[in-house]
Chains A and B, each alone.
Chain A
């Protein structure tokens, strides 16, 4: 099955800094999603992005399907951005999302 790898595993930023999170996947995908998991465990949808580029406020994402990677950009980071960011992908007919191991982000004031 498909494999999903994320980097870096941990990231510490000062408030206001920019960051780039990377997701590599081993096969073509028909679904790729980015999530932010808050301290209470809730997975919050950031982007549904099997290909192309999207932006939502300070966050943007790009998936280059032909090269099998996706990038999540966070600009002007805030302390509320802290948490774990997951990339998840699938290439099956049913919606079995395969998650990466996550990037743990800590934004300090």
Chain B
């Protein structure tokens, strides 16, 4: 069975631009969560979506937004990019409590 997939793998953007990251959950999983991992730290929770509804939001500015589609895939959008947004963005899917992570999208903001 395919695991969680994310696209793109790598991305380079300029300050002030907008970016969209994509995630496809494991088949049958209805919940998707997004995390940001800055170099040298553990991942930080951004959002969780379940059945297209936002169920939780971490301590991130409104420049970060997300949505979930009827097929349970999800997009994370970040507007007005800052240098500090450079990080590995991880998507996780779950059926129950246990979360399974994708390979991540590495975003570099220059």
Contacts and interface: CB of A to CB of B under 8 A. Distances in A.
Contacts of B50: 94
Interface string A31-54: 101010000111101001010000
Contacts of A76: none
A95 B99 contact: yes
B103 A95 contact: no
B89 to A, nearest CB: 10
B48 A94 contact: yes
A5 to B, nearest CB: 11
Interface string A78-102: 0000000010100011111111111
A43 B88 CA distance: 11
Contact of B101 (A30, A43, A93): A43
A41 to B, nearest CB: 5
B101 A95 contact: no
A96 B98 contact: no
A95 B92 CA distance: 10
Contacts of A101: 41-42
B45 A41 contact: no
Interface in A54-109: 86, 88, 92-102
Given A30-B97, A31-B97, A41-B103, A94 B56 contact: yes
A45 B100 contact: yes
A42 B106 CA distance: 11
A33 B98 CA distance: 7
